Structure 1
C-alpha cells in the first residue's frame, strides 16, 4: 500500500478555533496544505507561516518577543505584523495571514499580501555605495540596502569566484553530502541584476583613497563611492610546513575549497584533519558521513576547551570517538610527504587527504594601507564606522565596543557578520543605529547542535544546568558572578531567553 502523505499539523484554522483551544502564546495549525502559526502577543492575534525561512526551523518551538518571533534553531527573528526577517540568519520573510474573529471563534482563511518592510527615515542618502567583500557581511548589507528602499548605486567587489554562499553549509551538510547544490547560494544568480546590485566576482581591490573617495582594483579600475563598507573577512591560516602546498592538502573557506575536498574524498579511505576546533571537527563529522576514516591532530589537550570549557570539550571528544574519529591531541603535523603526515611526537599517519583547520586571520591589508585605525581588527564605533568618516567595517575584520562584556571584541561568527552588515547598511543611510546584537553561533556535530550566545574570552566559573553527556544542558560562563556567555544542547527556548536577557541588559 502506498504511503499516505503526512497530514498538516494541528487544527484547520480556516474552520475556526475556540479561544479555549488557544491557551498559550502559540497554536500550530493549518490552512489547506500550509502550516500556519497563530500567535498571541499582548492583546493582538497574528498568523504567520510556521517555518523559518533560513533552515525551515519550527517557529512554534521558538519565542515570542513583543511584535517579533524568534526561531529556536539559529535565532532568526521575524516581524509578526509584516513577516519580515528582521534579524539574520533568515533573510526572506514568512507569509502573513489574515486573522478574523466571528461568533466567539478565531479564523485564519487567507494570506495577506506581503507588506513592504518597515523603512526608517533616511537623513543622508548617498548616491554611491561600494562594498568590498562578497561574504556574509557584504551580502547582508547589500540586501538590506535594497530592503530599506535605497535607490542609489551599489557595487559589490568580491575576490571570490562564486556569488555569496551560505558558508556554514560548506563544512556541514554540503560537505557531508546531505545538502543539495541549490542550498548553497544565498540568492539565485538573477537576484543581483533584479536588485540592481553590481556584483563583480574575481575582483581584487588593491587600494582605498579616503580623500578622493574611491577604490582601485587590480585591473586598474577606479570606482568612486560616497559610503564604503569594508567587509573583507578572513582567510585560512596555512601551515608553514614541508608539503603543505601539495594538491591533496586543503583548507576550507570558499565554495571552491569545499568542492575540492568533496572531489578528493571521492576515492579516499583515510583523512587527516589538522585542528581540533569548530571547523576541523565539523569537517571530521562530514567526512565520517562519507565513511572515510578520520584522524584529528590538534595541539590542545581537549577539543574546543578554549571556547567551551573542559566538560564540553570531553563531551565533544567522546561524541566524535563514538562515530569513529581517532584523536592525536597535544600533537601537530610537522611535514607532509605524499600521503604521509609526520607528527611532532614521532609517529606518522598515512592519509589520502589532509584538511588544515587551524584558524583564520582577518584580511586587514586594505584598512592598514588606507590609514584606518587597526587593533587586531579594524576599529569601529558603536555604529560600525571606522576612524575615517564614511567608511564602515563589518564581519570578521571589525573590532567593536561590546556593551555586555564591556570590551572591544572581534568575533568570527557567520550570524554576527550578517547582522553587522545589516546594521552597517542602515547606518550608511544615516539611521544611527548602535550595534547591540548579542554574538551567536551554532556548531553541528552529527545529530548534535551546540548553540552559543555572548562572548567569554575568559571566565572564572562555569555553571551547568542539566546533563552534558545526555545532550540536555545549558552552561553559563561567568566572570565575577556575571554571565558573559551561554552554551546549550537541545535547550532552544532557554537559549533564546538568555539571549533576550543579555539584550535587555545591554540596551541603552
Structure 2
C-alpha cells in the first residue's frame, strides 16, 4: 500500500526523453527528483502525474487511459490526467502533477505543480440546503461528507456513527491488516483531524432512534432532535448472528468493525486452531489471513462449493483447491449446531475443536430506521436513479440502497465497498441539487493469499459462463452471460481486460 522510494525506475525525466519514445496513447514511468512520475501522451499533449494509485499504490502504468483519465489496474480508481484529481473511489487523494515542456523533439518534466482545489461546479437546481445530516459512518457516509466539502459546500454536516472508531478501510480488516501485513495507521480513511479541519461534526457511539420526516429531524436515543434539510441514510449492513447454543461466548466472533478485527487479532496471538463458519468472501478472506499467522483453520459451510453462488462452479472449485493448498481444511455441506467451550458440534454429528470461532455467515441491510420513517422498502431501501428515496429530501446509499441499474435493467442492491463509496459521492452531488444519475458499473475485489479476484458488473443469475484462459493457472477471465449478453466479468491477473470490460459496460448504458 505504501510507495517505495528506495529505488527509482526509468529515465530521469528532468533531463528529457525523445518525444518518439512515447507513442500517442502511450505511458512511460520515469522519475523527477526522488519521485516516480508517469508520463501519458494524448495526441499532442503530454501529462506528468504520480506513478502510483493513492488507494493501495497500484502501478498506473499498467492501468488504462480512457479519454483524459487513467484508471488503476488493481481496484479501478480513476484520476484526471490534467489535475490529478481522484475522480472515482476507492481513491480519494489526488495525484501530484508536474509541468511538462516539449522542445526540439524532446519531452522535459519540470517542477511539481502547486495543487489547486477543484473548481466549484455550476449551482444545482433548487435551494442549497443549510443542514445536511448523514446517518452512518461507513464507506457511503464518509464518501458523501468528503465529497460535500470538496464541492465547496459551506453548510452544516452532522455525521452520526454508532461505531467507536472514525470511518475505516473496512476491506483491509479481512485482508492485510488481519493477516498482520498492514500497520494500524493504514486503517482509518482519514485522520481524526480531517473531520474538524473540514467542519464535519462526526459523532461516534451515536445511536439514532428514529427519523421524523414530517418535521425534518433525526431523533437520537437520548431524545435529542437534530434538524436537517437533506438526509443521507448510509446505515450499511450488520453481520447475521449465530443463534445456536453457545454462540454468545466471548471467543465467538463476527467481523465488521475495527474493534471486531482487533478482538480476533488479540485472540489469534495465542491460538493454534480457528474455526470459520461460512465460505463466503469474508469467511475465506479471514481463513487466508489466519493462515498467514500460522493458525490451523477449519472452514464449515452448507454449500457444496465455496462462492459458487457468485462465481460459479469452476471458480468455486479453484478457490477451494487454493485454500486447501494453503492448509485450510473444509467441512462443506455441513453447519454448526452448537458451541460448547472450544468444541463446535456440527449437524453431521462431527465435532471440531478450536481456540476461537469466526462466523461469516452473511450480512443483513440495516433498514430499521428507513422502515419506521415510512420509506418504501424492497429487500433494501428503494431509491431512484438519483439515489433519492420515496420521501423527498431523504437519500440512501451503500449496502441498504436498491437502485435501478442501467446495465442489467434491474433494480439491484449490492454489498460492495467501492459501490458504497461511489454512491456516497453521487448522493452528495444530488443533495446539492446537481441531478446526477448513479450509473457506475459495480466493482469489487477479493484477496486470497497472493491471488486477487476482480469482479465487474452484476449477475444475480446467468445461463452461461464463458472461460477465457486457465483458472488453475491463475490467468483467466470469466464472462457471466444471460441470453448471450455479458452481465459480469470475474478475472485473475487480467487487470487490463477487467478495466476494458468496465469501459465496455459503461458504453452500453443508454
Which category describes the TM-score, using the shorter chain as reference length?
over 0.9
Q: CA deviation at 1:25?
A: 1.6
Aligned mate of 1:505, from 495, 499, 508:
508
Between the aligned partners of 2:7 and 2:254, the Cα distance in structure 1 is 44
Residues 235-294 of structure 1: CA deviation (Å, up to 9, x unaligned):
000111000000000000000000000011111010000000100000000000010000
- The question of 1:297 aligning with 2:306 is answered no
Q: CA deviation at 1:7?
A: 3.4
1:176 aligns with 2:185: no
Question: Residue in 2 aligned with 1:95?
Answer: 96
Alignment partners' CA distance in 2, 1:7 and 1:96: 20
How far is 1:119 from its partner?
Answer: 3.1
- Match in the other structure for 1:360: 363
What is the match of residue 421 of structure 2?
A: 418
Cα offset, 1:109, TM superposition: 1.6
CA contact (8 A) 1:41 1:64 kept: no
Q: Deviations over 1:126-157 (max 9, x none)?
A: 10000000000000000000000101000000
Aligned to 1:61: 62
Quick check: 285-294 or 119-128, which moved more? 119-128
Whether 2:39 is the aligned partner of 1:38: answer: yes
Q: Give the CA deviation at 1:336.
A: 0.1
* Aligned residue runs from structure 1 range 2-401, under 5 A: 6-23=6-23, 24-123=25-124, 124-401=127-404
TM-superposed CA distance for 1:118, in Å, is 3.8
Q: Distance in 1 between matches of 2:505 and 2:302?
A: 33
Question: Partner residue of 2:453?
Answer: 450
Counterpart Cα distance in 2 of 1:126 and 1:85? 25
> Does the 8 A contact of 1:299 with 1:330 survive in 2?
yes
- Consecutive unaligned residues of structure 1, counting only runs of 5 or more, are none
What SS does the aligned partner of 1:493 have?
helix
Q: Is the 1:82–1:116 contact (alpha carbons within 8 Å) kept by the matching residues of 2?
A: no
Cα displacement (A) at 1:367: 0.2
SS in 1 for 2:163: coil
Secondary structure in 2 matching 1:15: coil
Aligned position for 1:404: 407
Q: Indicate the residue corresponding to 1:471 in structure 2.
A: 474
**Structure 2: unaligned runs, 5 residues or longer:** none
Partner secondary structure for residue 392 of structure 1: strand
Secondary structure of the 1:476 match is strand
Could you tell me how far apart the structure 1 residues matched to 2:60 and 2:329 are? 38
Q: Could you tell me how far apart the structure 2 residues matched to 1:285 and 1:7 are?
A: 30
Alignment partners' CA distance in 2, 1:197 and 1:494: 39
Deviations along 1:402-437, whole A, 9 cap, x unmatched?
011110000000000000000000110111000000
State how far apart, in whole Å, the 2-side matches of 1:331 and 1:119 are.
56
Count residues with an aligned counterpart.
503
CA positional deviation for 1:41: 2.2
Query: How much does 1:102 deviate?
Result: 1.4
Pairwise CA distance, 1:6: 4.6
